[in-house]
Structure 1
Amino acid sequence: MSLSTRVIAAVGAVVVIGAGTVGISIAHANSEGKPEKPLSTLVVGRSTLHAGPTCYNDGKPIDEAAQTKCQKDAAAAVKGGTLPSLDVKVTDKIGVGVDPEVADKGWFAFTDGGQQQRATLASTRTGSTFSGLLPASGLLTTTEKTTVTVVEANEKTGDIIGVWYFQLKNKDAAGQEQQQQAPQEQQSQ
């Protein structure tokens, strides 16, 4: 069975168009350049969220005054609901990733939840770009919102270089809070 000249020409045209599209995409990507700041990625189940650092000093150490300001800015963002966020259920698994440049210097990540009001997502590490996936049930606060903090820190000097904040919105806690409020409202009537 032989292919007709028209079929061969059509396949050739598709290949040429496809190659042209890929070439244009690569050229466009190269012209975009490198991101100004490293990204961190929050993973919840099958959802991901990428964000630049909340606090960053062009790869140089952040002094204590800037760290304090960063924490205040993050607290205001939590209050204002402007932190990058993902929905989570206690049955989900959560992980954090960082750019290779961050992994080369060192990083760690934690939440403001768990049994000790702070749960580790990633211990201090270098070279590894992903924390792995951990059960959300051990990482969340008992309230509707849990803050995830990712810190780039030079393992040798201990200097803080970048800080990312994310927020997890616990959909299970929202339902529990509504159920708890309903009986209280009924009792007050």
Structure 2
Amino acid sequence: MTMLQSVVRRRRAVAAAGAVSAGLLVLSACDKPTPRATVTVGQSSVSTEAECYDDGKDLGREEAAKCAREKASETIDVPQSETLRIGVDPEVAETGWALWINGEQVTNVYKKTYYSFQGVDLFADQQGQAAPKELNISIVEQDKTDTTASKVYKGVWNFKLKNADD
């Protein structure tokens, strides 16, 4: 091997190492994506990252409720009495999650990655009021096992359900 070939090889190795280092530096600057939640109705599904999420730290109930009232980024049509299916990442299920409607908790905390609400008529008439045209639902990650006075609220995923029968 000539001295010229040795110098060229060394330069290529240094260039390759530099490229790998630069790539790792760029990746380390990226935000880690939040866990995802998915809502499925019939053959349609929508999925989103969290509206509010602080890398698994407690947001507090007040902030979680505020986030649950924010505008949803994903919308899905829901025919009356159709099954509503919700899926969450395993790390969310490990903590626990509850379904909230229009900023209020409506279910107990589940510790499953998937739950289906069979034949729920979310758009039924309510005591003399017309059926709503849309609802905002939130999946709120909250600690089921927390025995202290204050629960831990870690994330909020928002979806808009539109009444497909309207």
**Structure 2 length-normalised TM:** 0.66
The residue that corresponds to 1:169 in the other structure is 162
- CA drift at 1:71: 4.2
Identity of aligned residues (%): 29
Structure number with higher relative contact order (C-alpha < 8 Å, ≥ 6 residues apart): 2
- After TM superposition, the runs of 4+ consecutive aligned structure 1 residues lying more than 4 A away are none
**Structure 1 length-normalised TM:** 0.58
- CA drift at 1:83: 3.0
- CA drift at 1:152: 0.4
More helix by share: 1
Pairing partner for 2:144 from 136, 143, 155: 155
For the residue of structure 1 that corresponds to 2:123, the secondary structure is: coil
For residues 91 and 67 of structure 1, do their structure 2 counterparts lie closer, same or farther at Cα, with a shift above 3 Å needed? closer
For residues 147 and 58 of structure 1, do their structure 2 counterparts lie closer, same or farther at Cα, with a shift above 3 Å needed? same
Answer yes or no: is the 8 Å Cα contact 1:89–1:136 preserved in 2.
no
Question: Residue type of the partner of 1:140?
Answer: F
The residue that corresponds to 1:109 in the other structure is 99
For residues 63 and 124 of structure 1, do their structure 2 counterparts lie closer, same or farther at Cα, with a shift above 3 Å needed? closer
Answer yes or no: is the 8 Å Cα contact 2:101–2:135 preserved in 1.
yes
- CA drift at 1:57: 0.9
The residue that corresponds to 1:146 in the other structure is 135
- CA drift at 1:68: 5.2
Answer yes or no: is the 8 Å Cα contact 1:62–1:159 preserved in 2.
yes
Consecutive unaligned residues in structure 1, runs of 5 or more: 1-30, 175-189
Pairing partner for 1:47 from 44, 47, 58: 44
For the residue of structure 1 that corresponds to 2:132, the secondary structure is: coil
For residues 131 and 59 of structure 1, do their structure 2 counterparts lie closer, same or farther at Cα, with a shift above 3 Å needed? same
For residues 50 and 35 of structure 1, do their structure 2 counterparts lie closer, same or farther at Cα, with a shift above 3 Å needed? farther
